Amino acid sequence: MLALLNDILDAHGGLAKWNAFSKVAATIVTGGELWGIKGLIQDQNPRQMTVWLHEQRASLLPFGAPDQRTAYSPSRIAIEKADGTLVAERQDPRASFAGHRKTTPWDGLHRAYFNGYALWTYLTTPFLLSLEGVSIAEMPAWHEGPERWHRLRARFPVGLATHSMVQDFFFDSTFRLRRHDYDVDVAGSFPAAQLVYDYAEACGIHFPTKRRAYQRAPGRGRDPRSADGVDRPERVSVLVSWPRRASIEASNHETDMRPNRCSAGRADENGLPADAGRPSRKTYAAAADTGTLCVCGRRTLLC
In a domain, 303, yes or no: no
Is there a domain that residue 250 lies in? yes
Domain contains 111 = yes
Higher pLDDT, 303 or 87: 87
217 has pLDDT over 50: yes
Domain containing residue 73: 3-294
Q: How far apart are alpha carbons 2 and 130 in whole angstroms?
A: 10
Domain count, the chain: 1
So what's the pLDDT on residue 293?
54
pLDDT (0 to 100) of residue 259: 33
Q: Is the pLDDT of residue 281 over 50?
A: no
Please check whether residue 153 lies inside any domain of the structure.
Answer: yes
d(CA 19, CA 16): 5
pLDDT digits (tens, 9 = 90+) for 75-89: 999 999 999 999 999
Tens of pLDDT, residue by residue over 222-275, are 444 433 333 444 443 444 444 433 333 332 333 333 333 333 233 333 333 333
Q: Residue 191 burial by CB count (10 A; 0-12/13-18/19+): exposed, middle or buried?
A: buried
201: confidence class by pLDDT, cuts 50, 70, 90: confident
Q: Is residue 22 part of a domain?
A: yes
Using CB atoms within 10 A of its CB, is residue 48 exposed (0-12), middle (13-18) or buried (19+)?
buried
6-40 per-position pLDDT tens digit:
999 999 999 999 998 889 887 777 777 888 899 99
Residue 100 is assigned to a structural domain of this protein: yes
Contact by Cβ (8 Å): 273, 290: no
**pLDDT confidence band for 200 (50 / 70 / 90):** confident
Q: pLDDT band for 44, please (50, 70, 90 cuts).
A: confident
User: pLDDT tens for residues 180-191?
Assistant: 999 999 999 999
Q: What is the mean pLDDT of residues 195-209?
A: 83
The pLDDT, as a whole number, for residue 43 is 81
Beta-bridge mates of residue 200: 207
Among candidate residues 208, 285, 279, the one with its CA nearest the CA of residue 243: 208
pLDDT digits (tens, 9 = 90+) for 110-149: 999 999 999 999 999 999 999 999 999 999 999 999 999 9
Nearest to 197 by CA among 171, 167, 223: 171
Strands 236-238 and 292-294: unpaired
Q: Are 136 and 5 in contact (CB under 8 A)?
A: yes
Which SS3 state, helix, strand or coil, does residue 124 take?
Answer: helix
The predicted-structure confidence for 218-237, as pLDDT tens digits, reads as follows 654 444 443 333 344 444 34
Mean pLDDT lowest among 26-30, 38-42, 158-162, 167-171: 26-30
**Got the DSSP string for 11-62?**
HTT-HHHHHT--EEEEEE--B-HHHHHTT-------EEEEEESSSS-EEEES
In a domain, 299, yes or no: no
Query: Using alpha carbons only, what angle is made at residue 140 by residues 139 and 141, rounded to the nearest 5 degrees?
Result: 110
In a domain, 301, yes or no: no
The secondary structure element, H or E, covering residue 120 is: helix 108-124
β-strands 292-294, 23-28: how paired? parallel
For residues 70 and 79, is the Cβ–Cβ distance under 8 A? yes
Given this model, what pLDDT does residue 244 score? 35
Which whole number is the average pLDDT over 53-65?
A: 94
CB 279, CB 47: distance < 8 Å: yes
Mean pLDDT of 142-162: 95
How much is the average pLDDT of 156-184?
96
